[in-house]
Amino acid sequence: MAVACMGTQSLGQVTLRSKDPKEPALFDPSFLSHPYDRRVAIEAVREALAFLNSPTLAEHQDYIVDGPEDGSDEEILKFVKRNGISMWHMCGTVKMGKPDDRETCVDKDFKVVGLQGLRVVDMSVAPMLPHAHTQAIAYLVGETAAEKMVAEHNNQ
């Protein structure tokens, strides 16, 4: 059994490794850095274990392969940190916003602020990870950007 924590609050960062554009960027997702995320992870594992240990399922299991040493918050969190993985559906790394906001990287038309001829059209402009698979939202972002580009081209 696996649990997935959705709507996480931890904020990571993407930084340049060097001035060389061929060098891959550095990604630090800062998993579990927000108290909300730690609480959700602990409670999700606790609920999963309660389900696995329910009378109906417990009579059909020989043993649980891996799990926390006990049911304490500390042990569950250690288990999550040791075994948790990412689905790597990162988003929100390129802020879309108003022109007067210093943190804005992309305007409402997906254009990179301060550059001409460059747009960002992917999940990095989504302000938060949706509580669903990212594919549908990625399609919507792409379709919205395409409509804006077609309209812009037709008005020239």
Which residues carry out catalysis?
A: 89
- The per-residue b/e assignment along 13-31, b for 16 or more CB within 10 angstroms, e otherwise, is eeeeeeeeeeeeeeeeeeb
Show the tokens assigned to 42.
Answer: 């602990």
Sign of CA dihedral 116, 120, 121, 127: negative
Contacts of 27 by beta carbon, 8 Å cutoff, 6+ apart: 12, 14, 90
